[in-house]
């Protein structure tokens, strides 16, 4: 049984229900043999990406940078870092991607720059220069200490003292990533001009890093402490709530300026990263209506471990606060441990099947289609300042950033033999290489291609409404949603529990009309057993049921 065919990539709202594929440029393909991935390497492998049946690629930062935080510290917003190539290389990538039917979204890091950016170099000279107020500067307290209690994400105070100005500057992340002052109108205009530069070049949109960090509380009010309960819920080092350095009301007004600019380029889109202490309401507010961001994501699913009740809690909370907002759901990216390790390496396909059932747009991270797990690295191999600073309690983000494996050679086909890659290729990844899985018709790669094709050609999944099925309506460990468009229903179920006994699901108790549904042929999943209105679903499997 097939799903409704209704692919609409040529429409201006192509992004709604689309699947993005995140590429971490340093780790995708090294074409020039220096051990670091580059734009030419990416271009050479775009056919693989297109074969996955995704709609767009998202490139992590490629702008000029000293690479203290691997591109998230920009020193020139209008050029490509020589490590990755040139603007001409980027133009070639754009041309090839578009020829393959892939949109191109690039990372934009607006909230902060590198301390090597000419703006900051001028700003720090004195208190009267033309860019003196382009960054967040504040006087010390009477005893010389920092202006308030704000903490940086990578540890320690969010303030560094500058001896030239005899003031502190704000950095929500590394000390080499000073925060720009978005209360200054010239800063806001400068960034709009930077965005226009890339839109004129032909990009199809932007992923906005830390999109809720642009504005800060002018009064520099101390953040309140978090609670023991909050830290026990998965935030063990979060000693304060990010109340006054994120989520300021002025952010919404600026996002509307960005959306107005994007609307000048029909078909362009945006996806925002939303962090902070209470991200789901912000995610909903930032994507509500049609005047702000097109899409946004939080870390709620990115931190998930494949537990049915927990998934329901996240998704139901989003529905309560943002029924007209548009999420971009992901299970893996460059900031978190890979989902194959969190959900279980034998459940990589199950995890993606759940993801494909959800209302919203989706994002896959490079290597997710291969089932790559989180790599284990020695301390001396670490590159990420987050892991270096907090080792061993926090191992950092290098484990999800190791090179892509294209073949089973020592370097995984990422870079030439004899060249040391910037991070070591994780040996257990090599048997999962693209060449090996390409040759196996029943491989995870083949199954993911089939799954994404089903998602991409289903109007119900891309555009339809969604009703979450409460845990009380399902056996323990089973997660379910009902997707609907018009009079058509698609029931999506996944048994996330463990053990050997099947779950028995009474279809007639879930919604009217589901008794007449029949299983859809899901790649890699066995056909569930059915007796009348009772469906039997084995642990670790999923089933989609559609009406005739």
Residues that are catalytic? 209, 264
Distance CA 522, CA 406 (A): 26
Distance CA 80, CA 93 (A): 12
Other beta carbons within 10 Å of 431? 11
Among the listed residues 275, 323, 322, 312, the one whose alpha carbon sits nearest the alpha carbon of residue 297: 275
Residue 392, burial from CB neighbour count under 10 angstroms (0-12, 13-18, 19+): exposed
Residue whose pair of structure tokens reads 């971009």 in the numeric block: 328
DSSP 28: T
Distance CA 76, CA 65 (A): 7
Contact 537, 545 (CB under 8 A): no
Which parts of 433-507 fold into alpha helices (H)? 434-438, 444-456, 459-463
**What is the 3 state secondary structure string of 89-126?**
HHHHHHHHHHHCCCEEEEEECCCECCCCCHHHHHHCCC
Helix (H), strand (E) at residue 288? none
Distance CA 89, CA 42 (A): 10
Distance CA 133, CA 115 (A): 15
Residue 392, preceding peptide bond in cis (omega within 30° of 0): yes
Distance CA 295, CA 283 (A): 8
Distance CA 414, CA 27 (A): 8
């Amino acid at each position: 049984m097939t799903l409704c065919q209704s692919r609409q990539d040529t429409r201006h709202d192509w992004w709604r229900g689309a699947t993005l594929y995140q590429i971490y440029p340093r780790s995708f393909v090294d074409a020039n043999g220096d051990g670091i991935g580059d734009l030419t390497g990416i271009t050479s492998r775009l056919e693989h990406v297109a074969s996955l049946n995704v709609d767009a690629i998202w490139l992590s930062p490629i702008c000029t940078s000293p690479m203290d935080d691997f591109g998230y510290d920009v020193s020139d917003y209008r050029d490509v870092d020589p490590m990755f190539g040139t603007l001409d290389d980027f133009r070639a990538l754009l041309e090839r991607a578009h020829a393959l039917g892939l949109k191109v979204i690039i990372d934009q890091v607006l909230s902060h720059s590198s301390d090597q950016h000419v703006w900051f170099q001028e700003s720090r000279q004195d208190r009267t220069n033309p860019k003196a107020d382009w960054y967040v500067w504040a006087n010390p307290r009477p005893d010389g200490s920092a202006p308030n209690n704000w903490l940086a994400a990578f540890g320690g105070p969010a303030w560094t003292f500058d001896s030239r100005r005899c003031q502190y500057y704000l950095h929500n992340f590394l000390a080499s990533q000073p925060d720009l002052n978005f209360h200054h109108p010239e800063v806001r205009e400068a960034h709009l001009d930077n965005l226009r530069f890339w839109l004129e070049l032909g990009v199809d949109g932007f992923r906005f890093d830390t999109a809720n960090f642009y504005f800060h509380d002018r009064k520099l009010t101390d953040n309140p402490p978090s609670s023991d309960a909050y830290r026990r819920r998965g935030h063990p080092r979060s000693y304060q709530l990010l109340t006054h350095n994120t989520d300021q009301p002025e952010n919404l007004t600026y996002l509307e300026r960005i959306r107005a600019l994007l609307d000048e380029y029909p078909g362009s889109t945006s996806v925002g990263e939303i962090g902070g202490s209470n991200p789901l309401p912000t995610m909903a507010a930032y994507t509500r209506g049609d005047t702000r961001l097109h899409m946004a994501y939080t870390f709620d699913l990115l931190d998930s471990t494949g537990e049915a009740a927990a998934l329901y809690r996240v998704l139901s909370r989003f529905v309560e606060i943002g029924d007209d907002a548009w999420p971009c759901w992901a299970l893996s990216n460059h900031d978190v441990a890979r989902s194959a390790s969190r959900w279980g390496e034998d459940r990589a396909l199950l995890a993606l099947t759940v993801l494909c059932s959800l209302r919203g747009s989706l994002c896959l991270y490079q290597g997710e289609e291969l089932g790559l797990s989180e790599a284990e690295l020695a301390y001396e191999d670490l590159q990420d300042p987050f892991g270096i600073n907090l080792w061993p309690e926090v191992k950092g983000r290098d484990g999800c950033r190791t090179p892509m494996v294209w073949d089973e050679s020592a370097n995984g086909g990422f870079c030439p033999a004899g060249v040391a890659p910037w991070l070591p290729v994780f040996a257990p990844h090599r048997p999962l290489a693209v060449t090996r899985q390409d040759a196996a018709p029943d491989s995870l790669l083949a199954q993911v291609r089939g799954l994404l094709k089903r998602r991409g050609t289903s109007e119900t999944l891309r555009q339809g409404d969604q009703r979450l099925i409460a845990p009380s309506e399902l056996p323990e460990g089973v997660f379910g949603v009902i997707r609907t468009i018009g009079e058509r229903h698609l029931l999506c179920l996944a048994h996330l529990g463990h053990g050997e006994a099947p779950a028995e699901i009474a279809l007639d108790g879930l919604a009217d009309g589901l008794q007449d549904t029949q299983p859809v042929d899901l790649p890699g999943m066995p056909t569930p057993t059915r007796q009348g209105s009772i469906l039997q679903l084995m642990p670790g499997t999923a089933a989609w049921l559609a009406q005739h």
